[in-house]
Structure 1
C-alpha cells in the first residue's frame, strides 16, 4: 500500500467535500454549527486556497485530510497554530490513517517547519468521542466556553510538540502578563 502526504490542490475539492461530509455525520446529527459539516464545494476550495490543507493518499486515493489554519482563529487567539477540518473517509476509518496524518502534521509542519512549541484545536463536549480521542492523542483541555449557539461547551485543546520550546514560550507569556 503506497502512502503519500501532500498539500491539497483545488482539483481535490470534490473528493475532500465527500470525505468531510461523510466523516462529519455525527456532527450534523448533533446539530453542531461547524462550517465543515455542511461545506459546499466553494467553501472546500476556499479552505484549500486560504489555508494549508493536508491530505493523506492511499494508493493514489485521498483517504484523510487535516487543515492548518493560516489566519487567526476567531474564537481563541493563543498565538499557537490551530488545526481544523480533520476527517477520514469512513471506508478507511479504524486503520490509523487519521492518526498518521495528524502526527505527521504535528511533527513535520508544526514543530519542524513552523518551529512552534505546541498546536491547538477545538471540539465540542457533546460529541460522543472526539474529546476523548484527542486526549488519547496527547491533547489537553486549556479553555472551555459556551457561545450560546447550540453547540454547548466547546473545548480548546493543546498538544505540546516541543517541550523545551514550550517552557520558554510559557515563561515569555507569563512575563507578558506580568508587564501588562
Structure 2
C-alpha cells in the first residue's frame, strides 16, 4: 500500500485520538498543558471539521498527523499567518522521518501552494527539551515569547515558505500583508 498524505475525515477520529494521546504522553509527563495532550474525541472531531487536519498513512494506518488553521484569536495581534498545531507521530514510528515528511508536505502543499501563504507559524513551550531546537533545525525562527503561569515561556515561531526568488517583495509591505491582499 505504501505511504499516503491526505486530509483527515471524521471516520479517522478514533484512530487520530489514539495517535495523539500516545504521542503526547511525554508532554503530559513534563506537565506541559498543550490542549492536544488531554484531547478527547469531541476535540478531535471538531479539529477535523474546523481545520485542515492532515495525516500520513503508512500501509493504511495513520502514523503522523498535523493540523494547520487560521491564527488563533489570542495571537492575531502578533501575526495572521497560518498556524500549525496538534503535530503528532505514533511513538512506534518516531525517528524514522515520517513526521518531518508530513510537516514538509503541509508546509509546501497546503500552506504555500494551496493557501498561498508566504510563511507559517506555530507555538511551543520553551521548557520542552526537544521541540524548540527541532523546529529551529527545520527553519523556524522565534518571533515572540510570553510567560505563562502553567507552562513557563511559550514561544511563537515562524518559517518563511517563499524565497525572494519565488515571490516579488513589495516595498514597505510584510509577507502577511501581501498574503491578506491575495486572498
Normalising by structure 2, we get a TM-score of 0.88
Could you say which residue in structure 2 is the equivalent of 1:154? 154
Could you say which residue in structure 2 is the equivalent of 1:68? 68
State how far apart, in whole Å, the 1-side matches of 2:172 and 2:158 are: 17
Could you say which residue in structure 1 is the equivalent of 2:136? 135
Structure 2: gaps of 5 or more residues = 178-183
Could you say which residue in structure 2 is the equivalent of 1:46? 46
Alignment CA distance shift 1:47-1:82 (3 Å): same
Could you list the structure 1 runs, at least 4 aligned residues long, displaced by more than 6 angstroms after superposition: none
How many residues are paired up? 173
State how far apart, in whole Å, the 2-side matches of 1:169 and 1:155 are: 28
Counterpart contact for 1:160–1:166, Cα < 8 Å:
no
CA drift at 1:173: 3.7
Residue pairs, 1:1-180, within 5 angstroms = 2-70=2-70, 72-77=71-76, 78-148=79-149, 150-164=150-164, 168=169, 171-173=172-174
CA drift at 1:30: 1.8
Alignment CA distance shift 1:167-1:57 (3 Å): same
Counterpart contact for 1:121–1:156, Cα < 8 Å:
yes
Normalising by structure 1, we get a TM-score of 0.90
CA drift at 1:170: 8.4
Counterpart contact for 1:9–1:48, Cα < 8 Å:
yes
Root-mean-square deviation (Å): 1.9
